[in-house]
């Protein structure tokens, strides 16, 4: 089950965190994985680990916010079966503390970047007579998260794009779903805690972990397993859905 043998997958932001876990698992399940990162250096560790594990992987330097770069990269890759729109950046701030520059930066990567990849991927999926798209949304698409105005706005747009694409291309055998994680323990989270709460790292890690009712953060590999299912033939009857993976955050927090 859940084989991706002979599948060609593109994973944006596939060099670290959730994206790296997805890239590694997809390669392990037989896919040829193309990682898109801002620089090839950002993909170096992931490429080495996947290659050493017997996987087939390629790295591409590509700024997803620039359509010309995205289009050229997808044309170079050619026909694909799977797109995982995982690349994204974070921002802390309420609407009145979010500058125009920061708002534009978040929109350019988290919204326009997803649009650019969707725009470039549809013709390549058509070449394969269909395929699967998974967009990385967030629990911020579902509920209000304090001090995350721009990020929440962007992830809400990602969920809306997911529904639109699923509707428009279902007759072309293209499925589109999204995943909404709560907090996931990645190097980004560790760096954020160290930078924002120096000297309080252990205390803040525990506090952030307990915001999920299950009492911990997700592991990147757990999100990757859900992405694998949604991109496998076993999920062939699923399109236009969002899947929270949140340790009970949305439904069980009172």
Q: What is the pLDDT of residue 223?
A: 98
Q: What is the pLDDT of residue 152?
A: 98
Q: Is 151 a catalytic residue?
A: yes
Paired tokens of 222? 């757990």
Name residue 85's beta-bridge partners. 135
Tell me how far apart the 2 most distant CA atoms of the chain are, in Å: 55
Angle, vertex CA 220, rays to CA 216 and CA 223, nearest 5: 95
User: Of these residues, 151, 197, 229, 243, which one is catalytic?
Assistant: 151
Per-residue DSSP letter, 171: G
Q: How far is CA 73 from the centre of its chain?
A: 18
Asked: is 8-182+219-243 a CATH 3.40.50.300 domain? The reply is no
How does DSSP assign 113-143, residue by residue?
HHHHHHHHHHHHHHHTT-EEEEEE--GGGTS
Q: Where are the domains of the chain?
A: 8-182+219-243, 186-217
- In the chain (254 residues long), the average pLDDT of successive 10-residue segments reads 97 97 98 97 97 98 98 98 97 97 98 98 98 98 95 98 98 98 93 91 95 97 98 98 97 86
Q: What is the pLDDT of residue 206?
A: 96
Q: What is the pLDDT of residue 62?
A: 98
Alpha-carbon span 97 to 135, nearest angstrom: 28
Per-residue DSSP letter, 219: P
Paired tokens of 137? 């949304």
Q: What is the pLDDT of residue 127?
A: 98
Q: Which of 175, 164, 86, 168 is nearest to 128 (CA)?
A: 175
- How far the first Cα of the chain sits from its last, in Å, is 38
Q: What is the pLDDT of residue 253?
A: 87
30: left (phi over 0), alpha (psi -120 to 50) or beta: left
Q: How far is CA 105 from the centre of its chain?
A: 17
Query: What is the chain's alpha carbon radius of gyration, rounded to the nearest angstrom?
Result: 17
User: Between the CA of residue 18 and those of 14, 97, 101, 111, what are the distances in Å?
Assistant: 7, 28, 26, 18
Q: What is the pLDDT of residue 192?
A: 85
């Amino acid at each position: 089950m859940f084989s991706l043998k002979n599948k060609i997958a593109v994973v944006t932001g596939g060099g670290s965190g959730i994206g790296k876990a997805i890239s590694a698992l997809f390669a392990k399940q037989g896919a040829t994985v193309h990682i898109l990162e801002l620089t090839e250096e950002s993909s170096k560790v992931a490429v080495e680990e996947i290659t050493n594990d017997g996987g087939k992987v390629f790295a591409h330097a590509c700024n997803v916010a620039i359509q010309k770069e995205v289009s050229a990269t997808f044309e170079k890759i050619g026909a694909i079966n799977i797109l995982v729109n995982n690349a994204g950046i974070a921002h802390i701030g309420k609407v009145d503390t979010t500058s125009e520059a920061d708002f534009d930066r978040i929109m350019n990567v988290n919204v326009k970047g997803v649009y650019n990849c969707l725009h470039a991927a549809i013709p390549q999926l058509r070449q394969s007579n269909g395929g699967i798209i998974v967009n990385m949304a967030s629990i911020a698409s579902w509920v209000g998260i304090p001090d995350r105005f721009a990020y929440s706005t962007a992830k809400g747009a990602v969920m809306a794009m997911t529904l639109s694409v699923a509707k428009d291309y279902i007759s072309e055998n293209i499925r589109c779903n999204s995943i909404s994680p709560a907090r996931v323990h990645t190097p980004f989270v560790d760096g954020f805690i160290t930078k924002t709460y120096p000297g309080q790292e252990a205390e803040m890690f525990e506090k952030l972990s307990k915001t999920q009712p299950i009492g911990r953060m997700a592991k990147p590999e757990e999100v990757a397993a859900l992405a694998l299912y949604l991109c496998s033939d076993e999920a062939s009857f699923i399109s236009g859905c969002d899947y929270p993976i949140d340790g009970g955050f949305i439904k069980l927090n009172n």
